[in-house]
């Protein structure tokens, strides 16, 4: 290690296709309102987009796809929308898990599950167990997830396990973070026009390439996804270095 120690110091071998794509799926409500439909109709349509994107990522050999489904702040929404989202999530899990398994996809949930009902938690565990040894795409769903929660939760566990130690390093913390099993995201996509991170993967996005599009989530089709990949392919990832250094290495 050189003068400073950062997990993003080494340049990941990021080829044409990002290894890890993290997505904030935003704009379902506006998609519905444009059609004079209730907001929840947008969430329902959004599930179709998820299905297509998973298929597309598996085909392109993306290793990790991480989707923000419900933030720790989304509990502030009207109660009927929250319970609709939970129900939708449960239905989708029930309906899709066999197909995921058949396609060699590993499913992992991240987030605070303590507020979920027992039935949902059991279903999540069953789905994770069923797909645990799959070696294709790893699909991570962030549900009741918050970046600050993640960092704090990891810190508390790390300190609890090392009561005599001080001066922890990034490497000490890494295994306690929710996404410890994955490389950091190469590409971050947010649909729906907002240009913010909304407490998604704060730690892990340190050197991720950001892509924002006005396209609303239910309209985010293969073509829109291709545009995001193309944008990524034009970036030069320097991780603090100069362009010249990269050319010489």
Catalytic: which of 19, 28, 61, 74? 74
From the list ligand IPE, Mg ion, none, partner contacted by residue 44 (C-beta under 5 to 8 A by kind):
none
List contacts with Mg ion (CB under 5 A). Answer: 26
* Nearest to 230, CA basis, from 60, 111, 27, 113: 60
- Is residue 26 part of the annotated active site? The answer reads yes
Closer residue to ligand IPE (CB): 41 or 158: 41
Q: How far is the CB of 74 from ligand IPE (least distance, A)?
A: 5
Helix (H, G, I), strand (E, B) or coil at 50: helix
Q: How far is the CB of 31 from ligand IPE (least distance, A)?
A: 7
Catalytic: which of 19, 26, 150, 186? 26
The string of DSSP codes covering 155-219 is HHHHHHH-TT--S--HHHHGGGSTTTTSPPPSEEEE-SS----TTSSTTTTTTPEEEE--S-GGG
Q: How far is CA 245 from CA 8, 9, 11, 236, 239, in A?
A: 16, 14, 12, 12, 11
Residue nearest to ligand IPE (CB): 29
From the list Mg ion, ligand IPE, none, partner contacted by residue 171 (C-beta under 5 to 8 A by kind):
none
- Is residue 150 part of the annotated active site? The answer reads no
H/E stretch holding 41? helix 39-59
From the list ligand IPE, Mg ion, none, partner contacted by residue 80 (C-beta under 5 to 8 A by kind):
none
The residues carrying an active-site annotation are: 26, 74
């Amino acid at each position: 290690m050189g003068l400073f120690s950062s997990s993003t110091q080494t340049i990941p071998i990021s080829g044409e296709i990002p290894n890890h794509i993290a997505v904030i799926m935003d704009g379902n409500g506006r998609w519905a309102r444009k059609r004079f439909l209730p907001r929840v109709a947008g969430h329902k349509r959004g599930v179709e987009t998820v299905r297509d994107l998973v298929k597309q990522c598996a085909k392109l050999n993306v290793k990790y796809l991480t989707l923000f489904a419900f933030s720790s702040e989304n509990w502030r929404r009207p109660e009927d929308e929250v319970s609709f989202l939970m129900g939708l999530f449960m239905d989708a899990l029930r309906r899709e898990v066999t197909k995921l398994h058949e396609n060699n996809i590993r499913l992992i949930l991240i987030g605070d599950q303590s507020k979920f009902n027992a039935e949902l938690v059991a279903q999540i565990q069953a789905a994770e167990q069923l797909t645990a040894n799959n070696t294709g795409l790893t699909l991570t769903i962030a549900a009741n997830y918050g970046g600050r929660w993640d960092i704090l939760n990891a810190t508390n566990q790390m300190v609890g396990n090392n009561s005599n130690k001080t001066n922890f390093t990034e490497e000490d913390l890494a295994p306690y973070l929710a996404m410890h099993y994955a490389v950091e995201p190469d590409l971050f996509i947010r649909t729906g026009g907002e240009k913010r991170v909304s407490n998604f993967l704060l730690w892990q996005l340190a050197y991720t390439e950001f892509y924002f599009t006005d396209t609303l989530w239910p309209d985010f089709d293969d073509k829109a996804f291709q545009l995001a990949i193309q944008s990524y392919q034009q970036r030069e990832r320097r991780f603090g270095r100069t362009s010249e250094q990269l050319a010489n290495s």
